[in-house]
Structure 1
Amino acid sequence: MKKIKFGTDGWRGIIADDYTFENVRIVSQAVADYINNKNMGAKGIVIGYDNRFLSDRFADNVADVMIQNGIKVYLSDRPLPTPVTAFAVKVHDAAGAVMLTASHNPPEYNGFKFIPDYAGPALPHITAAIEENIARLQNSVRRNTNVYHEQALELAVDHGIPMAQSVPNHVADRIMIDPRYEYFDHLEKLVDMEVIGRANLEVMVDAMHGSGMGYLDVMLRRAGNRVKECRCHRDPLFGGSLPEPTQKSLEGVCRWIKAEGARLGLALDGDADRFGIIDVGGVYITPNQFLPLLYHHLIAVKGLVGPVTRTVATSHMLDRIAQKHGQEVYETPVGFKFIGQNLLEKGCVLGGEESGGLSIKGHIPEKDGILAGLLAAEILAVNEKSLSEIALDVAKEYGGGMYSERLDVRTTPAQKVRIIEKLQRLDPAEIAGVTVAKRITIDGIKLVLESGEWVLVRPSGTEPLFRIYAESENKERIEKIQQAVMNAADIN
């Protein structure tokens, strides 16, 4: 039996290999134990699932385990985006949620994400507690020690999974829910749909066959815009590609935008927590380009003046905007759970990451691609310019634009170990001819140069791979900076 481990955003595995009904029940029991040990079982739990193969069946199994542990279940009556599942926690004042999704991973994967009662990604101490429960349950199954409650007969007899030490005395039940309309109403408080409607935008919406279909298209049409749908039907194979809104995967949308003269393309990943944006002319707008536009918009147009939080790999253009307005910047390791924590605790008006996740003040502390797409439409409608033109204006106001790129370098497992050891000692005086001003080690090794340029080296947690991020005002300098740090760390 493989060890079940929660990564940066839950447990993911290959369907029918390690992601099996038995293992999903084990993880469900671990979560049920966590909830009951916190005496929160009476509040109930939301269960959502995406469009992946057997996700609805896995959701039924999660619901069974929760009910057998005395925990009331709010089960979605249809596939849901992750941010909508998280929002439903607040709607029902629940103890948390389980979201069954592998997000943007290949179609053979599925996943299990626990969302606590604050409606954001689980922090490390929470996932550690759940992992301890999983290890205990797996060890019990290996020893075939069937310790269970009378109320959990079928599950325990069939699978040898020990139940919680005590079951609450209230009667658990299963309530079918559809949180879409509460979610729509909430977004209309955050986004100016009237302005978007008056702009009469022509928009291409690409759901990439994921559970985000029926959200952006519905809200934009309801506002009065013309919407063309792309990949807005269920396909558990995702058309044979990854449901990830990258420039490469959105080439078809880019071509359509350019050919039709449309003003905007909006894409979502498999569970709609990440966004993709295409500007007029079919120009792909990266998250590192969009986040500064949004931060400026929140301050200058919406009057949301406050600190910003970003991951260590995200553009420092956000820092320039914050500095001009006298605001703090909170830098975090990679992983939206850390962004969410700062949104909750630091009063940040925006939290974002270079991989395409964001949320804002007033929303749940979970990344939301649907919200991101609507905010992009609002920015376009307010300015009556292309996003690329707005980016130039923002760059001019805050001292010049910045270019960001990521390079992935594969190694052997042995090389990876050696390079990680060298990175721990890596402390050069200069990189690419510029003095190093700061060395940051909260996630990988980040070197900030006196010029304002920076480079970050992060090893992959699962593969013999290093990701090298760099940012500079001079696009031609990026490759030089990346090569310099690769030479210094002996990455080849």
Structure 2
Amino acid sequence: MKTVSTTPFQDQKPGTSGLRKKVPVFQQPNYVENFIQSVFDSLEGFEGQTLVIGGDGRFFNREVIQIAIKMASANGFGRVLVGQGGILSTPAASNVIRKNKAFGGLILSASHNPGGPNEDFGIKYNTGNGGPAPEKVTDAIYARSRVIDTYKICETPDVDLDQIGRVEVGTMDVEIIDSVADYAALMEELFDFAAIKAKIAGGFRLTFDAMHAVTGPYAKEILERRLGAAEGSVKNFVPLEDFGGHHPDPNLVHAKDLYDLMMSDDAPDFGAASDGDGDRNLIIGKGIFVTPSDSLAMLAANAHLAPAYAGGLKGIARSMPTSRAADRVAEKLGVKAYETPTGWKFFGNLLDAGLATICGEESAGTGSDHVREKDGLWAVLLWLNILAVRGESVKAIAEAHWTEYGRNFYARHDYEDVDTQAANGLVAELREKLDRLAGTSVQGMTIAAADDFSYLDPVDGSTSANQGIRILFEGDSRIVYRLSGTGTSGATLRVYIERFEPDAAKHDVPTPEALADLIAAADEIAGIRAKTGRNEPSVIT
């Protein structure tokens, strides 16, 4: 064991999903070591305990895993579990932590962000419940990172990450585990694989785009080998360090080939994709894209058709920017609906307390109490279970849902890599005039209320303020403005636009048309074009 002197970096503040920076930033001498030591220094009671380590296979993944193993040994962990090849999807890592009663885990990922020598990398610490560290932990990590002066590391040879088995590093056991086996077994417990397999054997066709990211091996094993989907149903299934030069974000921009296929005359019955670290999902039926917000609501309304949820839901939780479609399902089911800030860690308390069963975010993340992370393949398999039991198409299920509950037209406009000062100024000016907006009109609509969302956690009593600016209109429409914490350069302004339409005769209106006046109002209220210089969003989802 060696204690190395170091000097602190002042930019190691974790965001909603850990520390994310460009690879060259992480490659600075001692940068990785400082952050990992700051994590360990912020924890207590891990002597002799188990730590889980894995990542999404992006560039620099293997090098950081070797550093983390040696530092875990030097700091006193008793055992480390590492996914074979350094691979563990984020939900699979959560499952490994929970199944092995590990103290916690280091997940190396920048989620849906691009990978490569000059692209993004990230490190996130998950606690013993399998979920992202709460703010009190990440705040402590950041505070420690600003004053750290030494780190501990073992000077030992690198571990062979590709060979399943057990080795020793110092006095610590290192076990290289099958990345897929435990997760696939869990999915078989949750869903009716026999029904899905029979559906596929009867001619049901599906396609899954793994985007050369972490879910490739998981989807190949589950969808093709265990459920019998045709060879080649899983596309781009080999994880690559740069995701094949593509952006591993399962939206209509970066998964356009999948969208085009699903809108074609020869479309399969079901199309899906997942992102860099496997926690997000894209659902497309033949001729219909299902928004993440609608998917959450539809999954919640039909979850009882899967064995794991046959007894009903304890509650449904959604992030504040996510459409309120799920709230209407909760009301009909007679269960509580929870509105939280963005960030899966806020769902963790609700799940641990048994207050919620299914959770979701508009950014394509849905999951349940089976782990403490959102889970892309879980959502795909629940959809397949529902389709197998109902015997209807995705489009038929969606249209029936809208007829029963009404339709929440919804869109998210992302303005990426905006000048940080301009973005902060826009939000500051919005906050300053919130008190004066109620009762005023814009684009012919009356503003009923305006606020900056604050969340009181019903489990631990903590408060999270300034979580997004909400403009609420008469007639159940709204606009939400929020600066995202998932980028690594500049600022990303997200604008969420939503209108509820109860009249089924109006459900076929194209979304841009249904939201046109609200889109214009969003710019007029915040002065987006004037303050950012952007005439249109970078991405619309």
Partner secondary structure for residue 217 of structure 2: coil
Query: Aligned AA for 1:236?
Result: E
1:223 has 2:250 as partner: no
Further displaced range: 289-298 or 212-221 = 212-221
1:349 has 2:386 as partner: no
**Residue 386 (structure 2) aligns with:** 379
CA distance in 2, matches of 1:314, 1:212: 24
Further displaced range: 176-185 or 345-354 = 176-185
Query: Aligned AA for 2:285?
Result: D
* 8 Å Cα contact 1:41/1:95 also seen in 2: no
CA distance in 2, matches of 1:171, 1:354: 45
Correspondence 1:34-433 to 2 at 5 A = 34-35=42-43, 38-71=44-77, 72-78=79-85, 79-107=87-115, 108-137=119-148, 140=149, 152=153, 154=155, 171-200=171-200, 201-221=204-224, 222-227=226-231, 228-257=233-262, 258=264, 260-281=266-287, 283-299=288-304, 302-345=310-353, 347-361=355-369, 363-398=370-405, 400-409=406-415, 412-424=419-431, 425-427=433-435, 428=437, 429-430=439-440, 431-433=442-444
Is the alpha carbon distance of 1:63 and 1:450 closer, same or farther for their aligned partners in structure 2, counting shifts above 3 Å?
Answer: same
Structure whose residues are more often strand by fraction: 2
* 8 Å Cα contact 1:100/1:110 also seen in 2: yes
> For 1:57-85, what per-residue CA distance to the aligned partner results, in whole angstroms no more than 9, with x for missing partners?
21011000000111121122221211111
* 8 Å Cα contact 2:206/2:271 also seen in 1: yes
Is the alpha carbon distance of 1:180 and 1:408 closer, same or farther for their aligned partners in structure 2, counting shifts above 3 Å?
Answer: closer
Correspondence 1:14-29 to 2 at 5 A = 14-20=22-28, 22-29=30-37
User: How far apart are 1:45 and its partner, in Å?
Assistant: 0.3
In structure 2, runs of 5+ residues without a counterpart are 1-8, 157-169, 454-466, 502-510, 530-541
* 8 Å Cα contact 2:33/2:151 also seen in 1: no
Partner secondary structure for residue 172 of structure 2: coil
CA distance in 1, matches of 2:335, 2:349: 18
CA distance in 2, matches of 1:490, 1:234: 41
User: How far apart are 1:172 and its partner, in Å?
Assistant: 2.4
**Residue 487 (structure 1) aligns with:** 524
CA distance in 2, matches of 1:6, 1:61: 19
Is the alpha carbon distance of 1:485 and 1:109 closer, same or farther for their aligned partners in structure 2, counting shifts above 3 Å?
Answer: closer
Is the alpha carbon distance of 1:51 and 1:346 closer, same or farther for their aligned partners in structure 2, counting shifts above 3 Å?
Answer: same
> For 1:274-306, what per-residue CA distance to the aligned partner results, in whole angstroms no more than 9, with x for missing partners?
11122124x332212211110101257634233
> For 1:357-394, what per-residue CA distance to the aligned partner results, in whole angstroms no more than 9, with x for missing partners?
11113x11211111111112112212222212211111
User: How far apart are 1:154 and its partner, in Å?
Assistant: 4.6
**Residue 165 (structure 1) aligns with:** none
* 8 Å Cα contact 2:26/2:121 also seen in 1: no
Further displaced range: 286-295 or 255-264 = 255-264
CA distance in 2, matches of 1:299, 1:452: 29
User: How far apart are 1:483 and its partner, in Å?
Assistant: 2.1
* 8 Å Cα contact 2:303/2:386 also seen in 1: no
CA RMSD between the two structures: 2.3
Is the alpha carbon distance of 1:240 and 1:367 closer, same or farther for their aligned partners in structure 2, counting shifts above 3 Å?
Answer: same
Query: Aligned AA for 1:246?
Result: N
Query: Aligned AA for 1:448?
Result: L
Is the alpha carbon distance of 1:255 and 1:4 closer, same or farther for their aligned partners in structure 2, counting shifts above 3 Å?
Answer: same
CA distance in 2, matches of 1:300, 1:449: 36
Instruction: Give the TM-score of the pair, scaled to structure 2.
Output: 0.80
> For 1:32-53, what per-residue CA distance to the aligned partner results, in whole angstroms no more than 9, with x for missing partners?
2233xx2123222011122212
Query: Aligned AA for 2:95?
Result: F
In structure 1, runs of 5+ residues without a counterpart are 141-146, 156-169
Is the alpha carbon distance of 1:403 and 1:148 closer, same or farther for their aligned partners in structure 2, counting shifts above 3 Å?
Answer: closer
> For 1:419-445, what per-residue CA distance to the aligned partner results, in whole angstroms no more than 9, with x for missing partners?
222211324224544443443422221
Is the alpha carbon distance of 1:433 and 1:303 closer, same or farther for their aligned partners in structure 2, counting shifts above 3 Å?
Answer: farther
Count of matched residue pairs: 463
Query: Aligned AA for 2:379?
Result: A
Is the alpha carbon distance of 1:415 and 1:465 closer, same or farther for their aligned partners in structure 2, counting shifts above 3 Å?
Answer: same
1:470 has 2:497 as partner: yes
Further displaced range: 351-360 or 334-343 = 334-343
CA distance in 1, matches of 2:353, 2:112: 28
* 8 Å Cα contact 1:88/1:179 also seen in 2: no
Query: Aligned AA for 1:298?
Result: A
* Aligned match for 2:477, one of 432, 445, 453: 453
**Residue 506 (structure 2) aligns with:** none
Instruction: Give the TM-score of the pair, scaled to structure 1.
Output: 0.88
Query: Aligned AA for 1:479?
Result: A
**Residue 441 (structure 1) aligns with:** 452
Further displaced range: 199-208 or 297-306 = 297-306
Query: Aligned AA for 1:10?
Result: G
* 8 Å Cα contact 2:51/2:103 also seen in 1: yes
* 8 Å Cα contact 1:310/1:352 also seen in 2: yes
> For 1:201-250, what per-residue CA distance to the aligned partner results, in whole angstroms no more than 9, with x for missing partners?
32212111111112123212312333512111132222222011111222
Partner secondary structure for residue 136 of structure 1: coil
Partner secondary structure for residue 405 of structure 1: strand
Partner secondary structure for residue 321 of structure 2: coil
Runs of 4+ in 1 over 6 A off after TM superposition: none
CA distance in 2, matches of 1:179, 1:230: 19
CA distance in 2, matches of 1:397, 1:328: 19
* 8 Å Cα contact 1:46/1:98 also seen in 2: yes
CA distance in 2, matches of 1:11, 1:305: 33
